[in-house]
Protein backbone atom coordinates (compact mmCIF):
# COMPACT_ATOMS: atom_id res chain seq x y z
CA UNK A 1 0.00 0.00 0.00
CA UNK A 2 1.34 3.42 -0.97
CA UNK A 3 0.81 6.64 0.98
CA UNK A 4 1.32 10.19 -0.22
CA UNK A 5 0.48 13.86 0.36
CA UNK A 6 -1.62 15.48 -2.36
CA UNK A 7 -2.57 19.16 -2.69
CA UNK A 8 -6.24 20.03 -2.27
CA UNK A 9 -7.40 21.82 -5.39
CA UNK A 10 -10.90 21.53 -6.88
CA UNK A 11 -12.55 19.04 -4.54
CA UNK A 12 -15.70 18.69 -6.63
CA UNK A 13 -13.63 17.66 -9.65
CA UNK A 14 -11.44 15.17 -7.78
CA UNK A 15 -11.68 11.74 -9.42
CA UNK A 16 -11.08 8.95 -6.94
CA UNK A 17 -12.56 5.60 -5.97
CA UNK A 18 -13.39 6.95 -2.52
CA UNK A 19 -13.23 10.38 -0.94
CA UNK A 20 -13.07 10.05 2.85
CA UNK A 21 -14.01 13.22 4.75
CA UNK A 22 -13.83 13.63 8.52
CA UNK A 23 -16.65 15.73 9.97
CA UNK A 24 -17.49 17.24 13.36
CA UNK A 25 -20.60 17.49 15.48
CA UNK A 26 -22.77 19.51 15.73
CA UNK A 27 -23.99 20.07 12.20
CA UNK A 28 -21.76 17.29 10.83
CA UNK A 29 -19.73 19.82 8.87
CA UNK A 30 -16.25 19.21 7.51
CA UNK A 31 -15.43 22.89 8.04
CA UNK A 32 -14.18 23.59 4.51
CA UNK A 33 -15.63 26.17 2.15
CA UNK A 34 -14.52 23.97 -0.76
CA UNK A 35 -16.81 21.20 0.41
CA UNK A 36 -20.37 22.48 0.10
CA UNK A 37 -21.46 19.25 -1.59
CA UNK A 38 -19.99 17.20 1.26
CA UNK A 39 -21.78 19.28 3.89
CA UNK A 40 -25.04 18.96 1.96
CA UNK A 41 -24.79 15.18 1.88
CA UNK A 42 -23.85 15.10 5.59
CA UNK A 43 -26.88 17.23 6.42
CA UNK A 44 -29.19 14.93 4.41
CA UNK A 45 -27.76 11.82 6.09
CA UNK A 46 -28.22 13.43 9.51
CA UNK A 47 -31.78 14.42 8.68
CA UNK A 48 -32.55 10.85 7.61
CA UNK A 49 -31.04 9.48 10.81
CA UNK A 50 -28.27 7.64 8.96
CA UNK A 51 -25.31 9.61 10.31
CA UNK A 52 -24.83 11.79 13.37
CA UNK A 53 -21.14 12.62 13.26
CA UNK A 54 -20.32 10.86 16.53
CA UNK A 55 -16.74 9.69 16.97
CA UNK A 56 -16.08 6.71 14.72
CA UNK A 57 -19.49 6.73 13.02
CA UNK A 58 -19.37 6.24 9.23
CA UNK A 59 -21.69 6.79 6.29
CA UNK A 60 -21.08 5.86 2.64
CA UNK A 61 -22.84 7.23 -0.44
CA UNK A 62 -22.13 6.01 -3.97
CA UNK A 63 -22.09 8.46 -6.90
CA UNK A 64 -22.48 11.49 -4.59
CA UNK A 65 -24.17 14.48 -6.15
CA UNK A 66 -21.84 17.39 -6.83
CA UNK A 67 -18.66 15.30 -6.59
CA UNK A 68 -16.61 13.43 -9.19
CA UNK A 69 -15.59 10.80 -6.64
CA UNK A 70 -17.21 7.38 -7.06
CA UNK A 71 -17.97 7.20 -3.36
CA UNK A 72 -18.09 9.57 -0.44
CA UNK A 73 -17.30 8.16 3.00
CA UNK A 74 -18.12 10.39 5.96
CA UNK A 75 -16.36 9.67 9.24
CA UNK A 76 -17.50 11.27 12.49
CA UNK A 77 -15.10 13.09 14.79
CA UNK A 78 -17.62 13.94 17.49
CA UNK A 79 -17.41 17.37 19.11
CA UNK A 80 -14.26 19.44 18.68
CA UNK A 81 -11.51 19.42 19.81
CA UNK A 82 -10.39 15.86 19.04
CA UNK A 83 -7.40 14.38 20.87
CA UNK A 84 -4.99 11.87 19.31
CA UNK A 85 -6.90 8.91 20.74
CA UNK A 86 -10.04 10.25 19.06
CA UNK A 87 -8.25 10.73 15.77
CA UNK A 88 -6.94 7.17 15.97
CA UNK A 89 -10.44 5.81 16.47
CA UNK A 90 -11.72 7.87 13.55
CA UNK A 91 -8.93 6.81 11.20
CA UNK A 92 -9.41 3.17 12.17
CA UNK A 93 -13.13 3.57 11.44
CA UNK A 94 -12.30 5.01 8.02
CA UNK A 95 -10.00 2.11 7.20
CA UNK A 96 -12.68 -0.34 8.32
CA UNK A 97 -15.42 1.37 6.31
CA UNK A 98 -13.39 0.84 3.13
CA UNK A 99 -13.06 -2.92 3.62
CA UNK A 100 -16.30 -3.94 1.86
CA UNK A 101 -15.77 -1.42 -0.95
CA UNK A 102 -13.86 -2.00 -4.17
CA UNK A 103 -11.89 1.22 -3.81
CA UNK A 104 -8.28 1.04 -4.94
CA UNK A 105 -7.42 4.76 -4.87
CA UNK A 106 -8.51 6.67 -1.76
CA UNK A 107 -8.26 10.35 -0.81
CA UNK A 108 -8.59 11.54 2.81
CA UNK A 109 -9.60 15.04 3.87
CA UNK A 110 -9.72 16.66 7.31
CA UNK A 111 -10.03 20.39 7.95
CA UNK A 112 -7.95 20.46 11.11
CA UNK A 113 -6.29 17.06 11.28
CA UNK A 114 -3.72 16.81 8.50
CA UNK A 115 -0.89 16.15 10.96
CA UNK A 116 -2.93 13.51 12.79
CA UNK A 117 -3.71 11.76 9.52
CA UNK A 118 -0.03 11.69 8.56
CA UNK A 119 0.86 10.20 11.94
CA UNK A 120 -1.91 7.60 12.08
CA UNK A 121 -2.99 6.54 8.59
CA UNK A 122 -0.22 4.00 7.83
CA UNK A 123 -0.83 2.02 11.03
CA UNK A 124 -4.63 2.09 10.77
CA UNK A 125 -4.72 1.12 7.11
CA UNK A 126 -1.88 -1.35 7.54
CA UNK A 127 -3.75 -3.08 10.32
CA UNK A 128 -6.95 -3.20 8.26
CA UNK A 129 -5.08 -4.71 5.32
CA UNK A 130 -2.97 -7.22 7.26
CA UNK A 131 -3.47 -10.87 6.34
CA UNK A 132 -1.31 -13.78 7.42
CA UNK A 133 -0.53 -15.91 4.35
CA UNK A 134 2.84 -17.56 5.03
CA UNK A 135 1.42 -21.04 5.63
CA UNK A 136 -2.04 -20.78 4.07
CA UNK A 137 -3.53 -19.92 0.71
CA UNK A 138 -4.50 -16.28 0.21
CA UNK A 139 -8.22 -15.49 0.08
CA UNK A 140 -8.64 -12.94 -2.73
CA UNK A 141 -12.28 -12.34 -1.83
CA UNK A 142 -11.22 -11.13 1.63
CA UNK A 143 -8.23 -9.11 0.46
CA UNK A 144 -8.13 -5.42 1.29
CA UNK A 145 -8.59 -3.60 -1.99
CA UNK A 146 -7.03 -0.23 -1.15
CA UNK A 147 -3.72 0.20 -2.97
CA UNK A 148 -2.98 3.90 -2.52
CA UNK A 149 -3.99 6.43 0.14
CA UNK A 150 -3.56 10.13 -0.58
CA UNK A 151 -3.80 12.70 2.21
CA UNK A 152 -5.24 15.95 0.89
CA UNK A 153 -3.48 19.04 2.21
CA UNK A 154 -4.60 22.66 1.90
CA UNK A 155 -1.28 24.09 3.06
CA UNK A 156 1.63 23.85 0.62
CA UNK A 157 4.04 25.09 3.31
CA UNK A 158 3.23 22.08 5.49
CA UNK A 159 3.78 19.52 2.72
CA UNK A 160 7.37 18.74 3.73
CA UNK A 161 6.43 18.35 7.41
CA UNK A 162 3.50 16.09 6.57
CA UNK A 163 5.60 14.04 4.18
CA UNK A 164 8.25 13.50 6.88
CA UNK A 165 5.61 12.46 9.43
CA UNK A 166 4.05 10.09 6.92
CA UNK A 167 7.45 8.58 6.17
CA UNK A 168 8.11 7.98 9.87
CA UNK A 169 4.74 6.33 10.29
CA UNK A 170 5.31 4.14 7.22
CA UNK A 171 8.68 3.00 8.56
CA UNK A 172 7.16 2.07 11.91
CA UNK A 173 4.37 0.19 10.18
CA UNK A 174 6.94 -1.78 8.14
CA UNK A 175 8.57 -2.78 11.42
CA UNK A 176 5.22 -3.76 12.91
CA UNK A 177 4.39 -5.94 9.91
CA UNK A 178 7.77 -7.69 10.04
CA UNK A 179 7.21 -8.36 13.74
CA UNK A 180 3.69 -9.71 13.17
CA UNK A 181 4.76 -11.94 10.31
CA UNK A 182 7.58 -13.44 12.35
CA UNK A 183 5.56 -13.99 15.51
CA UNK A 184 2.65 -15.53 13.60
CA UNK A 185 4.86 -18.20 12.01
CA UNK A 186 4.53 -21.70 13.47
CA UNK A 187 7.49 -22.85 15.53
CA UNK A 188 8.50 -25.47 12.99
CA UNK A 189 9.07 -22.58 10.57
CA UNK A 190 10.32 -19.89 12.94
CA UNK A 191 13.27 -21.64 14.55
CA UNK A 192 16.32 -19.95 16.10
CA UNK A 193 18.09 -20.45 12.77
CA UNK A 194 15.22 -18.74 10.96
CA UNK A 195 15.44 -15.72 13.26
CA UNK A 196 19.14 -15.54 12.46
CA UNK A 197 18.42 -15.68 8.72
CA UNK A 198 15.83 -12.90 8.99
CA UNK A 199 18.38 -10.76 10.84
CA UNK A 200 20.99 -11.44 8.15
CA UNK A 201 18.52 -10.60 5.38
CA UNK A 202 17.64 -7.37 7.19
CA UNK A 203 21.34 -6.58 7.39
CA UNK A 204 21.83 -7.10 3.68
CA UNK A 205 18.83 -4.93 2.76
CA UNK A 206 19.78 -2.03 5.00
CA UNK A 207 23.53 -2.26 5.50
CA UNK A 208 23.26 -3.31 9.14
CA UNK A 209 26.07 -5.34 10.70
CA UNK A 210 24.83 -8.76 11.81
CA UNK A 211 26.75 -11.43 13.69
CA UNK A 212 25.26 -14.84 14.49
CA UNK A 213 26.93 -16.78 17.29
CA UNK A 214 26.54 -20.57 17.34
CA UNK A 215 27.02 -23.01 20.21
CA UNK A 216 30.82 -23.00 20.13
CA UNK A 217 31.00 -19.22 20.51
CA UNK A 218 28.23 -19.21 23.12
CA UNK A 219 30.10 -21.83 25.15
CA UNK A 220 33.28 -19.78 24.84
CA UNK A 221 31.40 -16.80 26.30
CA UNK A 222 30.25 -19.04 29.19
CA UNK A 223 26.56 -18.21 28.71
CA UNK A 224 25.57 -21.04 31.01
CA UNK A 225 21.98 -19.89 31.57
CA UNK A 226 21.20 -19.69 27.84
CA UNK A 227 22.90 -23.03 27.22
CA UNK A 228 20.86 -24.63 30.02
CA UNK A 229 17.56 -23.66 28.44
CA UNK A 230 18.69 -24.86 25.01
CA UNK A 231 20.03 -28.24 26.04
CA UNK A 232 16.68 -30.05 25.74
CA UNK A 233 16.06 -29.02 22.13
CA UNK A 234 17.23 -30.55 18.88
CA UNK A 235 17.06 -27.12 17.25
CA UNK A 236 20.47 -25.39 17.48
CA UNK A 237 20.51 -22.23 19.57
CA UNK A 238 21.66 -18.88 18.23
CA UNK A 239 22.80 -15.59 19.74
CA UNK A 240 22.16 -12.77 17.26
CA UNK A 241 23.90 -9.39 17.38
CA UNK A 242 22.76 -6.50 15.16
CA UNK A 243 24.45 -3.10 14.88
CA UNK A 244 23.11 0.04 13.26
CA UNK A 245 25.77 2.75 13.23
CA UNK A 246 24.11 6.07 12.50
CA UNK A 247 26.22 8.27 14.78
CA UNK A 248 29.90 8.71 15.62
CA UNK A 249 32.07 5.85 16.85
CA UNK A 250 32.40 7.52 20.26
CA UNK A 251 28.64 7.87 20.73
CA UNK A 252 27.34 5.27 23.18
CA UNK A 253 24.76 2.97 21.58
CA UNK A 254 21.31 2.18 22.83
CA UNK A 255 20.73 -1.55 23.18
CA UNK A 256 17.55 -3.55 22.61
CA UNK A 257 17.43 -7.11 23.96
CA UNK A 258 14.67 -9.44 22.74
CA UNK A 259 13.61 -12.76 24.19
CA UNK A 260 13.74 -15.32 21.38
CA UNK A 261 12.17 -18.52 22.73
CA UNK A 262 10.77 -19.82 19.45
CA UNK A 263 8.63 -22.36 21.29
CA UNK A 264 8.12 -22.75 25.02
CA UNK A 265 6.75 -26.04 26.29
CA UNK A 266 7.83 -25.09 29.81
CA UNK A 267 10.51 -27.79 29.67
CA UNK A 268 10.36 -30.37 32.46
CA UNK A 269 7.98 -28.00 34.29
CA UNK A 270 5.68 -28.56 31.34
CA UNK A 271 2.75 -26.30 30.57
CA UNK A 272 -0.88 -27.48 30.29
CA UNK A 273 -1.86 -28.61 26.79
CA UNK A 274 -4.64 -26.05 26.43
CA UNK A 275 -3.46 -23.06 24.38
CA UNK A 276 0.13 -24.28 24.37
CA UNK A 277 0.13 -23.55 20.62
CA UNK A 278 0.28 -19.87 21.57
CA UNK A 279 3.78 -20.42 22.91
CA UNK A 280 5.03 -19.90 19.34
CA UNK A 281 4.58 -16.23 20.26
CA UNK A 282 7.22 -16.50 22.99
CA UNK A 283 9.76 -15.01 20.58
CA UNK A 284 7.74 -11.81 20.21
CA UNK A 285 10.42 -9.81 22.03
CA UNK A 286 12.99 -10.93 19.46
CA UNK A 287 10.54 -10.16 16.65
CA UNK A 288 9.98 -6.67 18.09
CA UNK A 289 13.72 -5.98 18.15
CA UNK A 290 13.97 -6.99 14.49
CA UNK A 291 10.92 -4.85 13.71
CA UNK A 292 12.46 -1.86 15.47
CA UNK A 293 15.64 -2.32 13.44
CA UNK A 294 13.58 -2.44 10.23
CA UNK A 295 12.02 0.92 11.11
CA UNK A 296 15.24 2.56 12.31
CA UNK A 297 17.15 1.37 9.24
CA UNK A 298 14.54 3.00 6.99
CA UNK A 299 14.58 6.26 8.93
CA UNK A 300 18.39 6.49 9.32
CA UNK A 301 18.45 8.62 12.50
CA UNK A 302 21.77 9.81 13.94
CA UNK A 303 22.11 7.23 16.69
CA UNK A 304 23.91 3.97 17.31
CA UNK A 305 21.78 0.94 18.07
CA UNK A 306 22.62 -2.62 19.09
CA UNK A 307 20.19 -5.53 19.06
CA UNK A 308 20.79 -8.70 21.07
CA UNK A 309 18.62 -11.78 20.55
CA UNK A 310 19.22 -15.01 22.48
CA UNK A 311 17.26 -17.60 20.49
CA UNK A 312 16.34 -21.14 21.50
CA UNK A 313 13.49 -23.54 22.12
CA UNK A 314 12.53 -24.68 25.62
CA UNK A 315 11.81 -28.41 25.36
CA UNK A 316 11.56 -31.41 27.71
CA UNK A 317 13.70 -34.46 27.12
CA UNK A 318 16.47 -36.63 28.49
CA UNK A 319 19.00 -33.82 28.15
CA UNK A 320 16.74 -31.02 29.38
CA UNK A 321 17.60 -28.93 32.42
CA UNK A 322 15.78 -30.13 35.57
CA UNK A 323 14.17 -28.33 38.50
CA UNK A 324 16.84 -27.97 41.16
CA UNK A 325 19.75 -27.80 38.72
CA UNK A 326 22.28 -25.04 39.33
CA UNK A 327 23.91 -23.28 36.36
CA UNK A 328 26.51 -20.53 36.08
CA UNK A 329 25.54 -17.47 34.06
CA UNK A 330 27.90 -15.40 31.93
CA UNK A 331 28.12 -12.92 34.81
CA UNK A 332 29.56 -15.64 37.07
CA UNK A 333 26.44 -15.69 39.27
CA UNK A 334 25.04 -19.14 39.92
CA UNK A 335 21.30 -19.73 39.43
CA UNK A 336 19.14 -22.45 40.94
CA UNK A 337 16.49 -23.34 38.36
CA UNK A 338 13.46 -24.08 40.49
CA UNK A 339 11.06 -23.89 37.54
CA UNK A 340 12.19 -24.61 33.99
CA UNK A 341 9.19 -22.66 32.67
CA UNK A 342 10.84 -19.47 33.93
CA UNK A 343 13.29 -19.75 31.04
CA UNK A 344 12.97 -16.30 29.49
CA UNK A 345 14.81 -14.60 32.32
CA UNK A 346 17.59 -17.19 32.02
CA UNK A 347 18.37 -16.45 28.40
CA UNK A 348 17.93 -12.71 28.94
CA UNK A 349 20.32 -12.53 31.88
CA UNK A 350 23.24 -13.69 29.73
CA UNK A 351 22.26 -11.22 27.01
CA UNK A 352 22.15 -8.42 29.59
CA UNK A 353 25.65 -9.34 30.72
CA UNK A 354 26.83 -9.37 27.11
CA UNK A 355 25.39 -5.84 26.70
CA UNK A 356 27.97 -4.46 29.14
CA UNK A 357 30.71 -4.58 26.48
CA UNK A 358 28.99 -1.83 24.48
CA UNK A 359 29.07 0.69 27.36
CA UNK A 360 25.48 1.52 26.41
CA UNK A 361 23.55 4.77 26.78
CA UNK A 362 20.53 2.64 27.71
CA UNK A 363 19.40 -0.96 27.57
CA UNK A 364 15.77 -1.99 27.10
CA UNK A 365 14.89 -5.67 27.16
CA UNK A 366 11.61 -6.83 25.65
CA UNK A 367 10.04 -10.14 26.56
CA UNK A 368 6.82 -12.11 26.83
CA UNK A 369 8.07 -12.90 30.28
CA UNK A 370 5.25 -13.62 32.73
CA UNK A 371 1.61 -14.60 32.82
CA UNK A 372 1.51 -12.58 36.02
CA UNK A 373 1.86 -9.40 33.97
CA UNK A 374 -1.28 -10.33 32.05
CA UNK A 375 -3.13 -10.75 35.34
CA UNK A 376 -1.86 -7.37 36.54
CA UNK A 377 -2.35 -5.26 33.39
CA UNK A 378 -4.48 -7.31 31.02
CA UNK A 379 -3.93 -6.71 27.32
CA UNK A 380 -3.87 -2.90 27.40
CA UNK A 381 -0.49 -1.84 28.81
CA UNK A 382 2.90 -3.51 28.59
CA UNK A 383 4.59 -3.77 31.97
CA UNK A 384 7.50 -1.36 32.46
CA UNK A 385 10.16 -1.93 35.11
CA UNK A 386 13.18 0.31 35.67
CA UNK A 387 15.12 1.76 38.60
CA UNK A 388 15.91 4.80 36.41
CA UNK A 389 13.17 7.43 36.71
CA UNK A 390 14.25 9.44 33.67
CA UNK A 391 14.45 6.36 31.43
CA UNK A 392 11.09 5.12 32.68
CA UNK A 393 9.48 8.49 32.03
CA UNK A 394 10.87 8.59 28.48
CA UNK A 395 9.44 5.15 27.73
CA UNK A 396 6.08 5.98 29.29
CA UNK A 397 5.74 9.15 27.22
CA UNK A 398 6.96 7.41 24.07
CA UNK A 399 4.33 4.74 24.54
CA UNK A 400 1.61 7.33 25.00
CA UNK A 401 2.63 9.26 21.88
CA UNK A 402 2.89 6.07 19.84
CA UNK A 403 -0.47 4.68 21.06
CA UNK A 404 1.51 1.71 22.39
CA UNK A 405 1.21 2.24 26.12
CA UNK A 406 3.12 0.79 29.03
CA UNK A 407 2.58 1.08 32.79
CA UNK A 408 5.38 1.40 35.33
CA UNK A 409 5.54 -1.31 37.96
CA UNK A 410 7.62 -1.32 41.17
CA UNK A 411 10.99 -2.90 41.90
CA UNK A 412 12.87 -3.24 45.19
CA UNK A 413 14.69 -5.46 47.66
CA UNK A 414 11.47 -6.38 49.42
CA UNK A 415 10.41 -8.17 46.24
CA UNK A 416 13.89 -9.49 45.38
CA UNK A 417 14.17 -11.24 48.74
CA UNK A 418 11.92 -13.98 47.37
CA UNK A 419 14.70 -15.03 44.99
CA UNK A 420 17.05 -16.09 47.79
CA UNK A 421 18.10 -19.72 47.94
CA UNK A 422 20.47 -21.92 49.99
CA UNK A 423 21.96 -23.55 46.90
CA UNK A 424 23.00 -20.74 44.54
CA UNK A 425 23.49 -17.01 44.33
CA UNK A 426 19.90 -16.59 43.16
CA UNK A 427 16.83 -18.67 42.32
CA UNK A 428 15.08 -18.17 38.99
CA UNK A 429 11.64 -17.85 40.60
CA UNK A 430 10.14 -16.61 43.85
CA UNK A 431 6.66 -17.33 45.14
CA UNK A 432 3.49 -16.92 43.11
CA UNK A 433 2.75 -13.43 44.40
CA UNK A 434 4.01 -10.47 42.35
CA UNK A 435 5.44 -12.82 39.73
CA UNK A 436 6.10 -10.17 37.09
CA UNK A 437 7.93 -8.00 39.64
CA UNK A 438 10.16 -10.76 40.99
CA UNK A 439 11.01 -11.72 37.39
CA UNK A 440 12.11 -8.13 36.76
CA UNK A 441 14.09 -8.16 40.01
CA UNK A 442 15.93 -11.23 38.75
CA UNK A 443 16.89 -9.41 35.53
CA UNK A 444 17.94 -6.32 37.47
CA UNK A 445 20.75 -8.32 39.08
CA UNK A 446 22.38 -8.59 35.66
CA UNK A 447 21.88 -4.96 34.62
CA UNK A 448 23.61 -3.03 37.38
CA UNK A 449 26.23 -1.24 35.29
CA UNK A 450 24.05 0.77 32.90
CA UNK A 451 20.65 2.46 32.54
CA UNK A 452 18.16 -0.37 32.13
CA UNK A 453 14.47 -0.96 31.61
CA UNK A 454 12.44 -4.10 31.11
CA UNK A 455 9.21 -4.35 29.09
CA UNK A 456 7.01 -7.35 29.85
CA UNK A 457 4.82 -7.72 26.74
CA UNK A 458 3.11 -10.99 27.65
CA UNK A 459 -0.28 -9.28 27.58
CA UNK A 460 0.25 -7.05 24.55
CA UNK A 461 2.31 -9.01 22.02
CA UNK A 462 -0.57 -11.13 20.76
CA UNK A 463 -4.31 -11.59 20.90
CA UNK A 464 -6.22 -14.79 21.55
CA UNK A 465 -9.70 -15.82 20.47
CA UNK A 466 -11.32 -14.73 17.22
CA UNK A 467 -8.64 -12.09 16.60
CA UNK A 468 -5.82 -14.52 17.38
CA UNK A 469 -2.44 -13.35 16.19
CA UNK A 470 0.53 -11.11 16.82
CA UNK A 471 0.03 -7.37 17.35
CA UNK A 472 3.49 -6.02 16.49
CA UNK A 473 3.79 -4.28 19.85
CA UNK A 474 5.95 -2.69 21.23
CA UNK A 475 7.67 -1.65 17.97
CA UNK A 476 5.94 1.79 17.88
CA UNK A 477 6.97 2.49 21.48
CA UNK A 478 10.59 1.45 20.90
CA UNK A 479 11.00 3.49 17.72
CA UNK A 480 9.42 6.59 19.28
CA UNK A 481 11.75 6.24 22.28
CA UNK A 482 14.85 5.85 20.11
CA UNK A 483 13.97 8.78 17.86
CA UNK A 484 13.30 10.88 20.93
CA UNK A 485 16.90 10.42 22.07
CA UNK A 486 18.26 12.30 19.05
CA UNK A 487 15.52 14.27 17.31
CA UNK A 488 13.98 17.19 19.26
CA UNK A 489 10.71 16.97 17.33
CA UNK A 490 10.28 13.38 18.45
CA UNK A 491 11.32 13.72 22.06
CA UNK A 492 8.95 11.88 24.32
Residues forming the active site: 271, 345
Tell me how far apart the alpha carbons of residues 14 and 69 are, in angstroms, rounded to a whole number: 6
Burial track 320-335 (b if 16+ CB lie within 10 A, e otherwise): bbeeebebbbbbebbb
What's phi and psi for 457, nearest 5 deg? -110, 20
DSSP 281: G
Pairwise CA distance, residues 238 & 162, whole Å: 41
Using the Cα atoms of residue 477, residue 481, residue 483 and residue 484 in order, give the sign of their dihedral: positive
* Beta strands 362-367; 452-456: pairing state: parallel
Three-state secondary structure along 115-140? HHHHHHHHHHHHHHHCCCCCCCCCCH
Residue 437 and residue 443: Cα distance in Å, rounded? 10
d(CA 447, CA 23): 50
CA distance 355 to 454: 14
Amino acid sequence: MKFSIAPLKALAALKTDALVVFVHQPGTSCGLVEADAVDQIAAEAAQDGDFNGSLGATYTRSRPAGLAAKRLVLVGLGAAPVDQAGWLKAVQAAAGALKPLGAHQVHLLAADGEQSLADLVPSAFGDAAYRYTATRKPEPAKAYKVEAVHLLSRHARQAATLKAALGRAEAVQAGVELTRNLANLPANYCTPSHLAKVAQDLGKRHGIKVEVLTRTSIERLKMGALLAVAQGSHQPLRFIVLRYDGAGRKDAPHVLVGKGVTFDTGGISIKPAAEMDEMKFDMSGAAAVLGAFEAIARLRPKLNLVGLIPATENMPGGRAVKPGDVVTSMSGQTIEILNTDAEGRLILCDALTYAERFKPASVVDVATLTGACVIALGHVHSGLFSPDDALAESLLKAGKLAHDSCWRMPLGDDYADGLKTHFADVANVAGRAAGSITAACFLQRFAKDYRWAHLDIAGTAWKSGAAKGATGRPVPLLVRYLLGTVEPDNKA
